[in-house]
Amino acid sequence: MKKIIFSTVLIIIVSALFISCAKAPQGNGTIIFTANGEDFVREGFTSKDGWAISFDKVYVNIVNPTAYNKDGLKSILQGTYFVDLAAGDAKAEPVVVGQTEKVIHGNYQSLKFGIKKAVSGEYKDSSIVMTGTAKKAGKSVNFTIKLDEEMDFDGKEGFVGDEVKGVLAENGKTSVEMTFHFDHIFGDKEAAADDHINTGSVGFDFFNTHSKDGKQEVTQEMLKKSADYGKLIKAIATLGHLGEGHCEVSNMTSASYMK
């Protein structure tokens, strides 16, 4: 009897191991993950308080971007990607972050991705870094702004824009786009004063209070005592988009300032 019980248990264990080692279903498609800072980053713009801003670098530290749909299809680009959204000229295409292959065909128009602090390198402990020059009324400031906010974005409603993205045909390729709207932080002089872009942003003067001798290096920690710090956190929470489609935000480091 003991031998029979042992044999039965052994069969169950071997069967469980076989099932756990079975490969997940595979397809033959490719999904290209891209990140886009749009014209605001590549060409520059004027903030709501009149600073002409041009960026040299705009880094975002993207973690595990995942294209998916409500029916259970998903494709994960595993890893951490410290991406420069300002790379290229004014006509540059969105930055290619990476791609997944052998993906089952289907609709992958929903997209989630994390923004986390870098664990090494020049900008260790920063999740978003902006460098460049701001000019106003004869003044010129060379700035470096380092933010350490962490959060997860989830674009459940799918990509919103002129071009359909995320639909993968059999044997085909498609792209998905993480879009970042940095005018939400600085505002936009070309928009109306009562536009939500301007009422919800902090402008450039908010950061420029820390400038000295035409240079400015500011960290998020330095800004915490500012009266508009809560407004900054709320603006950061709206950075992530799918084209013009809004993303839900969760797991923010400074979630208490969202109230």
Per-residue model confidence as pLDDT tens for the chain (259 residues): 444 444 444 444 444 444 444 455 689 999 999 999 998 899 999 999 999 999 999 999 999 999 999 889 999 999 999 999 999 877 888 999 999 999 999 999 999 999 999 999 999 999 999 999 999 999 999 999 999 999 999 999 888 888 889 999 999 999 999 999 999 999 999 999 999 999 999 999 999 988 777 778 999 999 999 999 999 999 999 999 998 899 999 999 999 988 7
User: Which structure tokens are listed for 111?
Assistant: 């997209």
d(CA 246, CA 139) in angstroms, rounded, equals 35
Residue ranges per domain, the chain?
A: 2-258
pLDDT value, residue 116: 98
Distance CA 135, CA 141 (A): 6
- How far apart CA 120 and CA 117 sit, in angstroms, is 9
Nearest residue to 60 (alpha-carbon basis) of 241, 243, 259, 258: 241
- pLDDT value of position 24: 52
C-alpha triplet 77, 82, 83: angle, nearest 5°: 90
For tokens 């997209």, what's the residue?
A: 111
Q: What's the pLDDT at 20?
A: 41
- The set of residues, in sequence order, having a beta carbon less than 8 Å from that of 222 and lying 6+ positions away, is 210
